[in-house]
Structure 1
């Protein structure tokens, strides 16, 4: 594997296709739920779309290939336009990660169906499904971490008192810098990695258990 890549070279095509699907559905889900709660901001900006080109951030996509994490273009949400503002805000934030969890479940379901067919599909489809399932689980867990600018942070602040939110506002200005420091430095070994090492395997086994499968 080239030293500057986070994934083996032979898996890069699978990773790219997975990310195009996962990022698109993730951001589309944010926009769809926002519209359902009365905020048409994303729709008016062309983000209520299944066209990957309107959601992909090239730098964020490349960073995933190099550093193992990245992002799509954030879906614009005007939370003051949401009906039932707190509930709407929480559900809009959760919509993206939940869409990734559903994609992982669908991927395992397709793999389960293939196991029960006699069709010779070679190694391409199982390899793609392995990457697809694993990356979507990673995106589900990663986006629920309560750090700005991730979805989990937006969910968290909706349950904090106004005094606590006010104290966090200055921190939010430096959210991306703080996030990059945590993600790209050894700090991640004590913050993000422990979450990944415990939660991701648990969710993976849980989804496989739904279909009576063992790890693949």
Structure 2
């Protein structure tokens, strides 16, 4: 088990928040840019039931990675398809970064004001666990989703940045990119030299955000 069993209620709540906001950000931005595909599919909502994928959520709990239901987007409906496509792809990971940053800020406020210690020791420990997972999982999802491999948001951003000729070749070989992605996730030696160092950026980002917010306390 990647996470302690006793912490699963906190992790499940954090995943519901993280995945729901992430997919809502994709759907809402696409709708605002002129594509109502996600809106008509009922995805422009903060209702977790329409965003969560059961298998993807379970895998994140036991394997350290997972996914929600992808938001359908038709970039051809955008006024500037490539530019707006990049924005729509990027707002999902950015929403997780914002949640993580807000989690750090709220945790610091609770500590500095003493509200963290106003209740029982059990409440204090529960709040600590919840905020620690809220911060770590959301910043992890921010970094993970920006990896430029399909089916992640980073790959969609990369394809929109590429010239059409290269983009066409990338789309022709997308299945190989997904194969590489599965290899580095499921084969531990490959994961240790590829995915794990990238995900190590999570700690760097978290430390820098804490240092930034500490300037105000």
TM-score by length of 1: 0.92
Q: Out of 148-157 and 171-180, give the one that drifted further.
A: 171-180
Q: Which residue number in structure 2 is paired with residue 11 of structure 1?
A: 7
Q: Alpha-carbon deviations, 1:64-93, whole Å to 9, x = none?
A: 111110100001100101121111000000
Report what 2:59 is aligned to.
Answer: 63
Structure 2 matches for 1:1-216, cutoff 5 A?
5-118=1-114, 119-120=118-119, 121-185=123-187, 186-197=189-200, 199-212=201-214
Structure 2 unpaired stretches of 5+: none
- Total equivalences in the alignment: 208
- Cα contact 2:86–2:156 (8 A) shared by 1: yes
SS of the residue 1:182 aligns to: helix
TM-superposed CA distance for 1:18, in Å, is: 0.4
Please report the TM-score for the alignment, with normalisation by the length of structure 2. 0.91
Per-residue deviation, residues 38-75 of structure 1 (Å, max 9, x unmatched): 11110000000101010000000111111110100001
Q: Structure 1: how far apart are the matches of 2:138 and 2:20?
A: 12
Give the secondary structure class of the aligned counterpart of 2:161.
coil
Structure 1 segments unaligned to the other structure (5+ residues): none
Answer yes or no: is the 8 Å Cα contact 2:149–2:178 preserved in 1. Answer: no
Whole-Å separation in 2 of the counterparts to 1:60 and 1:196: 18
Quote the Cα distance in structure 2 between the aligned partners of 1:131 and 1:180: 25
Alignment partners' CA distance in 1, 2:213 and 2:192? 32
Cα distance, 1:134 vs structure 2: 0.3
Q: Higher helix fraction: Structure 1 or Structure 2?
A: 2
Moved over 3 A (4+): 173-178
What is the CA–CA distance in structure 2 between the aligned matches of 1:171 and 1:65, rounded to whole Å?
Answer: 30
Q: Do the aligned residues in 1 keep the contact of 2:33 with 2:84 (CA within 8 Å)?
A: yes
CA-CA distance at 1:173 after TM superposition: 3.3
Secondary structure of 1:147's partner? coil
RMSD: 1.4
**What is the alpha-carbon distance in structure 2 between the residues aligned to residue 72 and residue 178 of structure 1?**
20
